[in-house]
Amino acid sequence: MKPVQLFCWHFMAYPYLNKDFDQKQYSGWVTVPNSLWDNHKARGLYQEYIDQLAYADELGFDGMVLNEHHQNIYGLMPSPNLIAAALTQRTTRGKIVILGNLLPLHMNPMRVAEEYAMLDQMSNGRLIAGFAPGGGPETFNYDVPSANTREKFWEAADLIVRSWTEDGPFAHEGRYFPLRYVNLWPKPLQKPFPPVWIPGSRSASTMAEVAKRGYCYFLSSRSHGGETHRAQQEFAAVLEKHGDRYHPFRFGILMSTYVAETDQRAREECEEGVWYFLKNCLKGHLRREGRQLTYGPGVPYIPAAAWREYLKGYTPGRKLLGDVENWDELDASQSIIVGSPETVTRRIQSLIEKAKVGNLLIQFQLGNMPDHLARKSMKLFAAKVAPVLREESVKVFDKQFAGVDLEPAVEAVH
């Protein structure tokens, strides 16, 4: 079995908020006033962030991860494809993962099919194509009606993959995106098509749709307690039901880390960025303070029966990740793993072993963390943590998945 795949995820937060942001502003999402944008300070910001991602490639990470957000301070990538295009010209080996384009926000899915095909060609077959439906905030950003979002999403995703694999021109007789001439130029480089990753938050229907199509499931939760392990078990069970078998590379998780020479130094160095991230970037998304846009009856995208199930397990006012009040609580959430190389290795190893997960999508730069610290942590991780994780994960996976064949890796045609 191959070793755990380690990716560097960058969200590209807006890092120049004043210290009183949380006190003064109601939200970091959708309605956060863009008068806070400071052109003077922000000049060169994208360059700094792109350089960090290129650095990840130099350090030997297996890939770089981007995603799409609108109108917020959490992620300044309304179009991750633009950043991906820059990375095709700055990097040579790592995968470029876009997780993903928010399909219901695009008027025509062919635009995504075309841009992804371009990126696959421009990167010499390094694209991992993520499709996501978008969540609560994006519903408000682009006025996406909720009730048919999922149906629209899957129609778009299937049309894109069909346009990559089937010779055109053909007519798509769809419910939401009827098109007379589907005839993609260019085609993607990877055959039969670039790997497809789909994020989800443990909904059984998303898992089933992913399994049906043989895609990789990515758990979008930021905390990693027992739920991560349960998500893995649920997805494995769904795969079995579809006559397929789970292996670690069918599954991915998002986590954050900061590594320094010692536990104490790690905490000291990252704490400002971590709290900036938790209190500012997550306000409106994963905080109960202000108005939380991500989940709620105002974005009614799941059927009523599923909402009934959700309500049964829902505790109003429960703490979300951004509501943690102190370092110990944060530590217990297993969302941001901070420490010496030994500490971080041990904790991630245990996560890999428990969650049987082969794709770790790791956020290094958090909130307003300065460039030199993000790079230092990435470098230390690459030098001291990654080699051990790779070596040990092979042993763990070999033991856990003895006899399970990975499907043949999708290779670029050169």
Stretch that binds other proteins, among 191-199, 212-220, 310-318, 352-360 (CB under 8 A): 310-318
Q: Helices 149-165 and 109-122: crossing angle, nearest 10°?
A: 50
Alpha carbon distance 329, 332 (integer Å): 5
> In whole angstroms, how close is the CB of 305 to other proteins at the nearest point?
9
Q: Which is nearer to other proteins, 133 or 248 (CB)?
A: 133
How far the first Cα of the chain sits from its last, in Å, is 25
Q: Which residues pair with 130 in a beta bridge?
A: 197
Q: Is 303 in the site for other proteins (CB under 8 A)?
A: yes
Q: Which is nearer to other proteins, 5 or 294 (CB)?
A: 294
Q: Is 299 in the site for other proteins (CB under 8 A)?
A: yes
Q: Which residues pair with 286 in a beta bridge?
A: none
Alpha carbon distance 56, 68 (integer Å): 20
Alpha carbon distance 141, 31 (integer Å): 9
> In whole angstroms, how close is the CB of 376 to other proteins at the nearest point?
37
Q: Which residues pair with 196 in a beta bridge?
A: 129
Stretch that binds other proteins, among 65-73, 269-277, 296-304, 367-375 (CB under 8 A): 296-304
Q: Is 318 in the site for other proteins (CB under 8 A)?
A: yes
C-beta separation of 218 from 130 below 8 A: yes
Alpha carbon distance 115, 341 (integer Å): 39
Q: Is 136 in the site for other proteins (CB under 8 A)?
A: yes
> In whole angstroms, how close is the CB of 184 to other proteins at the nearest point?
27
CA torsion sign, 10 to 13 to 19 to 21?
negative
Total residues binding other proteins (CB under 8 A): 32
Neighbours of 398 (CB within 10 A): 12
Q: Which is nearer to other proteins, 95 or 285 (CB)?
A: 285
Alpha carbon distance 96, 65 (integer Å): 6
Helix ranges (H only) for 25-148 are 39-42, 45-58, 80-90, 109-122, 136-142
Strands 95-102 and 127-132, how do they pair? Answer: parallel
Q: Is 296 in the site for other proteins (CB under 8 A)?
A: yes
* Interface residue with other proteins, options 288, 346, 376, 379 (CB under 8 A): 288
* Interface residue with other proteins, options 290, 346, 353, 384 (CB under 8 A): 290
> In whole angstroms, how close is the CB of 292 to other proteins at the nearest point?
6
* Interface residue with other proteins, options 107, 304, 409, 413 (CB under 8 A): 304
Q: Is 307 in the site for other proteins (CB under 8 A)?
A: yes
C-beta separation of 10 from 365 below 8 A: yes
Q: Is 360 in the site for other proteins (CB under 8 A)?
A: no
Q: Is 202 in the site for other proteins (CB under 8 A)?
A: no
> In whole angstroms, how close is the CB of 300 to other proteins at the nearest point?
4
> In whole angstroms, how close is the CB of 326 to other proteins at the nearest point?
18
CA torsion sign, 68 to 72 to 74 to 77?
positive
Q: Is 24 in the site for other proteins (CB under 8 A)?
A: no
Residues within the interface to other proteins (CB under 8 A): 136, 139-140, 143-148, 151, 288-293, 296-300, 303-304, 307-308, 311-312, 314-318
